[in-house]
Structure 1
Amino acid sequence: MRVLIAPDHFGGTLTAAQAGQVLARPWDGGGHQVLTAAMSDGSTGLIDAVQSARGGTLTPIEVPGSLGRPVPAAVLQVGGDGGGTAYIDGAALLGFNGDRSSVGDARTRATEGSSDGLADLLQAAVAGGATRVVIGLGPSPTHDGGAGLLRRLTELTGLGTGTDAPAWSALAGLREHLAGVDLVVAAATDTPLVGLHGAGAGLQRFGINALEAQQIESATSVFAHDAAGHARALTPLRPVLAGHERVLEPSSSHTGAGGGAAFALGLLGARVLPGAGVVGEEVGLRDLMAGADLVLTGTASLDADAMHEGVVATVGSLAAERGLPVVAVAHEVYVNRREMATVGISAAYPLIDQPLVPGNRPAAAHRADPVQALGARSARVMRNWATA
């Protein structure tokens, strides 16, 4: 039997590549043909997923973290010096793990954090000869609407008109600077930058109370609407700016990724797209499915969000085009069969069976070994789904 294993990461316990290896072991041992493809929705593991599938050259670079302190980052270059594609993990830079000199104060990041470091990574990618740059972004406590990215990129390119100038003042020059580069944002969330269900309101997931979140969003909203108004007044450098008939608005879907960095990149001409779909294209997921009989995927939590636009939903939808059964594995499963069927998932297995008696939790030792639990679940899937 030919099995394609294409998981997301499993929270902080296993990367997508590690999860793929663990899931593959029972099938390899059972004599089945196995292909693995590490996946990402753009929020975590973008570079790891692409590098495991396509190789490339990873160039370390030190850039400003979201709180201004230098942090290590990297640009993955695929395709040689005369062009090719560069990949940037912006989610790691703007999230809690981006600035390793700090414990991760969400309130400080939300009020003082900046997307400056993305500009350094983008400029490094362009200077390295990339004609296409893919930037992964996810939910982030850093919430400057991309102002730091624009301001820092203006400094790096020598287009600045003064430190007191609005961040968007050099937008025309920045577009010209990037005119030969195809920018793609792999957005892990379709949340807009502003609005009742926007990224500002989403700051509450990082422990910021509703009043503080509203105040932070109000400040970012002023910048974002001013920037969008300025962008609308510019003559596009291309007949259709990067596939958009109009300038992205702060209320457009996906613009809240990276605390609004996706919005700023859209003003520069980036195509802002669902992240899991972008990664699926980059790792050749559709082609890998061509010879498969079954697809096995997984993620940390199989919930409503995962069914909407994450790795599991993307894998399931692509497999459905070929009529392939898809089985998902997750730490915990919160959706029913009808919800799974809408995105092409045939069945789902939690890593640990829930007890019939409330409060009777599984043994701590078992819960503490995700590798053992994931391997055991993969073996069970094989027993239930493998054919001769």
Structure 2
Amino acid sequence: MAWTGMSGIATVPGYVVMQPTTLCNLDCTYCYLPERALNKRMPVAVAEAVAIDVNEWASRTERFSVVWHGGEPMTAGRAALADLMAPFRGVEHHVQTNATLIDDEWCAFFAEHGMHVSVSVDGPAERNSARVTRSHKPAYDRIERGIATLRAHDVPFSVLCVVSDPRPELAGELYHYFLDLGCDVLGINIEEQEGVNGRANAHAEADVRAFWAALVAEWRRNPRIHVREIEHALRYAGAVLAGAADDVLPKRLDPIPTIAVDGRVFVLSPELAGFSDERYGDFSSGNVLSTPLRQILCAAADGPGWVGEFLTGVEQCRATCPYFGFCGGAHAANRYFELGRFDATETDHCRNSKIRLLEGVLDHASHGT
């Protein structure tokens, strides 16, 4: 089945993800990355090739982001990261970090380069049992020390929290912890089965739905921080009430190009980087060292190979799922790692993080609390 929907894949992204190194100094048990014990580094030539197109795109838009994501990006070191950032002009630089390496010098680096910092932490110490060092020792003390250093230097930061066991009684504990932590934005990821993390992520519908409803209730009592998922759901609900639901989803999917250390480009799902399949190859769409990024994205938008299969799956979602207007179709990596195909539809990830999220928000609203 060819791609015949009203949308498709955009040829100009809203941001790019750069992998300066595969290495991570932690060994989190739910991590999807297959090469996090290897110390592969991105050469500057890769960043220079990406920047040619990114700088032009950035000059034509109000905001364009370059997201440094690993591995643990900070294991590359400040000098190497500065060299990789140097070719870019007119962009916002973001870094996703486990915070264990943050010290005074890194805070000065963030300030000098205007970097937006996002920290991965899963709540109080006892909620971080999955976040361990390479010797499988708890990493929380090091994470906490890095966050304290950010606060001491007045470096704003957001948080990404992985929830492995969503239950309503957990919502208050997490929300109050993050209020006290001092983050500006909170993102909640219910653990996903993807990459090398083969743990199933099916949960009781009532528990997940009640978790999101309880989180909304906590946020409404003290909405001092932005909660990414809740605000997205509320924007959608507001658009439905205003008769503008069709305007919520973008008309074309952002390709979300992820640039691996060797210059290969992975579209739609950064989680596919580092994997291969006899049916689909290594999932990459080209290499910026031999082909301009814009050309790679234009070719990817035509939907060959696994991308075409994924777009067929999106159309199946559009035709069969009442939540499509909110979700936009199950993510490519979740389809593949949960169901083994890209043209499948509903996944545990979309049940946990899309369907139950919206239902939980509506449950809270209907109870009038």
Normalising TM by the smaller chain, what interval? Answer: 0.3 to 0.5
Structure with greater Cα Rg? 1
TM-score (normalised: structure 1): 0.33
Q: Which fold has the larger relative contact order, with Cα–Cα distance below 8 Å and residues 6 or more apart in sequence? A: 2
TM-score (normalised: structure 2): 0.35
Report the structure, 1 or 2, having the larger strand content.
1
